[in-house]
Amino acid sequence: MEFLDKFPDLGRTTLRDIKKSIDFAFREFSNQYGEAIEGFFDPLLYFMVWFEKLLTNAPWPLMILIFAALAWLGARSIPIVIGTIVSFVAIGVFGMWEDTMATVAIISVATFVCIGLGIPLGILMSRSNRLQAVVTPVLDVMQTIPSFVYLIPVVMLLGIGKVPGLIAVCIYAVPPIVRLTNLGIRLVDKEVLEAAEAFGSSYRQKLLHVQIPLALPNIFAGVNQTIMMALAMVVIASMIGVKGLGVPVLRAVSNQYLALGLMNGLAIVALAVIFDRVSQQYGKRLQKHRQGGHGV
Amino acid sequence: MNKFVKGIAVAGLATAMSQGAVAACGDVTIAEMNWASAEFMANVDKIILEEGYGCSVELIPGATLTTFASMDTKGVPDIAPELWTQAVEVPLLAALAAGSLHSMNPKPIMGAGEGWVVPGYTLANHPELKTVLDIIERPDLFPSKEDPSKGAFVGCPAGWGCQQVNANLFRAFDMEAKGWVLVDPGSAAGLDGAMAKAVNRGDDYFGYYWSPTAMMGKLNMSMVDFGVPFTEMEHWTNCITQAECADPKQSAWSASEINTIVTDSFMKNNDPKAAAYFGKRVFPASAMGAMLVYMGDNQAGGEDAAIEFLMNHEDVWTPWVGVQAANLIKKSLN
């Protein structure tokens, strides 16, 4: 009966020894290679520090102008440009300018890193079913594992600050771009590919001139999702010392400062909406142009 | 369905019978704060109240300010075993005066306190660093990762009661002009991680921490004397602990005040013997330190540590409870 009532687990001592040995092994690893790994990321850190300083020190009217121009280039829509300007002015008026710039800095760098890693990986995945079978479960883990779990090893290895924050953000934000790049390329019509082959396209030409262009709407949906998920990680990243809108949110949460939390939360939402609309509109425009060209 | 109900009835009866020997104590909620020593204390209290006095205890996880706010306004949880009172000084004094909360034990842990710490080897390698005043002249020893020309002082995570104090003392000691940056570690995990990483690598480190903690013992951190006396209490409570402090004065960290706070309804509705237990429950620094290192080494939670403590430190806890309760607790452990 006892066998059924209580799950026959490994027992406290064995479990403890297993946990201890894993921790010990990781600590050894961190002692041995931590400094080297940190050194590897140093250029990225200096770039991020420089970029954040650039954004926070630039005159605010110039920054608003740049954001408005980017919104116009992306969306070509007057309402979105006006919305962008109003949001950033409101953020400034409510005293959240510096935190917002710090957040924009880390989110932009994170997005570029994620795109730079994610699109090539997605392309590779679309070429090989075996790689897809290996990478897909890894992506599932990255998206569902509670972020605090991987924060521990990241902090032990790299300490607190921008680089560990960036890694934490990317672990969560990179899966959609990989998935959608893979999906987009796989969804390209077999007949179109056959036609390309019939015209004697090389492997490279097929990829660069047929598959990627046709997959662009999907890839753009991935970029959009990656930006959204990176923004969702702002508060978590602040828990390991990343400056930005997450810090006041944390302060508000532990002190029940309703207004402070709401204001900074809404600033994150405003950033999300702007990034979302601009990148979506840009994706749509890409699609429209293509559809028009083919007369569909 | 029927079977299920019966099952519950039987289980209920069994619990009732096992507790039949002791006076009814009723339902009690205990705050389990989110750090190791408080988790441990909450679980010790839970086992002692349940087994020794027949209470039905529920642990409620929380942080200092949230838990206190809930106790103050809603009367739940009933007991905060380890409340660091300075963070909530003004409303706490008001509640104590009004009688809605009661102080049970103004010193539940011996030798507890907050302050600024450096690793033991930093002091050994630089014997000239005797006080905080000496350390703040040497930002070059503690270079910040993001801007190596400045020294990094790791303060308190955003939202903790101590964050404001660190920020104000940082200003009082004029540390920015001396070439320091105040680093916000973001969370408890960030603060611990930053300190553990630095010590594991043998780097010098300067930051805020408190005792009793497994971290202090395990990493062999030393609390540094401030080199200036404690400013008067009035300035501390009205300026240094406040966000709007125009001119903070240099000061040592105030001696820590930890208290076991209970609600009025607990005093009125529950076994008075259980309430008396809290008055006697004082953890010696050595026992507390040993349990915290045990928790860290074995990755034990508060409950495991509480059982370990009750089994191996009988001499410490038996005087806290009556003979009858002590026997019941010992029986339950076997």
Does B87 share its domain with B117?
no
Structural domains in chain B (count): 2
Rounded Cα distance between B115 and B209, Å, is: 6
Does B142 share its domain with B229?
yes
Segment B222-232 mean pLDDT: 87
Chain B partners of A15 at a C-beta cutoff of 8 Å? none
Backbone angles phi, psi at B179, to 5 degrees: 100, 35
Rounded Cα distance between B180 and B331, Å, is: 56
pLDDT of B12 > 50? The answer is no
Among B14-28, B157-171, B176-190, the least confident range: B14-28
Rounded Cα distance between A241 and B162, Å, is: 16
Rounded Cα distance between B292 and A98, Å, is: 40
Structure tokens at B49: 């109240």
Q: Is residue A231 within 8 Å of residue A271, measured between CB atoms?
A: yes
Q: Is residue A102 within 8 Å of residue A53, measured between CB atoms?
A: no
**Nearest neighbour of A239 by CB, restricted to B63, B146, B186:** B186
Q: Which of B160, B155, B157 is nearest to B144 (CA)?
A: B155
Report CB contact under 8 Å: A159, B196: no
Would B190 be classed as within a structural domain? yes
Q: At which residue do the structure tokens 């601009």 appear?
A: A278
Burial A176-204 (b: 16+ CB within 10 A, else e): bbbbbbbbbbbebeeeeeeebeeeebeee
Q: What is the pLDDT of residue B24?
A: 66
pLDDT of B87 > 90? The answer is no
Would B19 be classed as within a structural domain? no
Q: What is the torsional sign of CA A204, A210, A215, A219? A: positive
Domain encompassing residue B144: 113-240
Q: At which residue do the structure tokens 């452990």 appear?
A: B333
Q: Is residue B271 within 8 Å of residue B23, measured between CB atoms?
A: yes
pLDDT higher at B321 or B2? B321
Partner B contacted by A106 (CB < 8 A): no
Helix H or strand E encompassing B17: helix B2-18
Q: What is the pLDDT of residue B147?
A: 86
Does B229 share its domain with B323?
no
Would A206 be classed as within a structural domain? yes
Q: What is the pLDDT of residue A114?
A: 95
Low-confidence ranges of chain A (pLDDT < 70): 1, 288-296
Would A100 be classed as within a structural domain? yes
Domain encompassing residue A136: 42-294
Segment B235-244 mean pLDDT: 86
Pairing between β-strand B26-33 and β-strand B55-62 as defined by DSSP bridges: parallel
3-state DSSP percent of chain A in helix, strand and coil, to 5: 85, 0, 15
Neighbour count for residue A235 (Cβ, 10 Å): 21
Instruction: Identify the domain boundary among B240, B272, B287.
Output: B240
Q: What is the pLDDT of residue B15?
A: 44
Concatenating the DSSP letter of every residue in A176-227 gives HHHHHHHHHHHTS-HHHHHHHHHTT--HHHIIIIIIHHHHHHHHHHHHHHHH
Mutation target among A51, A103, A155 for the B interface, most CBs of B within 10 A:
A155
Share of chain B above pLDDT 90, in %: 41
Structural domains in chain A (count): 1
Q: What is the pLDDT of residue A4?
A: 83
Q: What is the pLDDT of residue B244?
A: 84
Q: Which of B237, B258, B257, B231 is nearest to B173 (CA)?
A: B231
Rounded Cα distance between B164 and B155, Å, is: 9
Q: Which residues pair with A173 in a beta bridge?
A: none
Does B145 share its domain with B225?
yes
ipTM confidence score: 0.76
Would B194 be classed as within a structural domain? yes
Does B131 share its domain with B210?
yes
Q: What is the pLDDT of residue A295?
A: 40
Determine the distance in angstroms separating the CA of A140 from the nearest CA of chain B, rounded to an integer. Answer: 25
Rounded Cα distance between A65 and A97, Å, is: 14
Would B122 be classed as within a structural domain? yes
Does B75 share its domain with B55?
yes
Question: What dihedral do alpha carbons A165, A171, A177, A179 form, nearest 10°?
Answer: -170
Diameter over CA atoms, chain A: 75
Kindly report the CATH number assigned to the domain that includes residue B324.
Answer: 3.40.190.10
Would A14 be classed as within a structural domain? no
Rounded Cα distance between B157 and A269, Å, is: 24
The SS3 of residue A1 is: coil
3-state DSSP percent of chain B in helix, strand and coil, to 5: 50, 20, 30
Would A283 be classed as within a structural domain? yes
Instruction: Identify the domain boundary among B240, B275, B303.
Output: B240
Partner B contacted by A242 (CB < 8 A): yes
Report CB contact under 8 Å: B201, A16: no
DSSP annotation of B28: E
Q: Give all strands of the β-sheet with B101-105 in edge-to-edge order.
A: B55-62, B26-33, B79-84, B258-263, B101-105
Does B80 share its domain with B156?
no
Chain B partners of A246 at a C-beta cutoff of 8 Å? 186
Mutation target among A148, A254, A256, A260 for the B interface, most CBs of B within 10 A:
A254
Q: Is residue B219 within 8 Å of residue B119, measured between CB atoms?
A: yes
Kindly report the CATH number assigned to the domain that includes residue B200.
Answer: 3.40.190.100
Rounded Cα distance between B85 and B199, Å, is: 30
**Confidence band (pLDDT; 50, 70, 90) for B124?**
very high
Rounded Cα distance between B321 and B329, Å, is: 10
The pTM for the full model equals 0.72
Q: What is the torsional sign of CA B307, B313, B318, B321? A: negative
Mutation target among B184, B204, B293 for the A interface, most CBs of A within 10 A:
B184
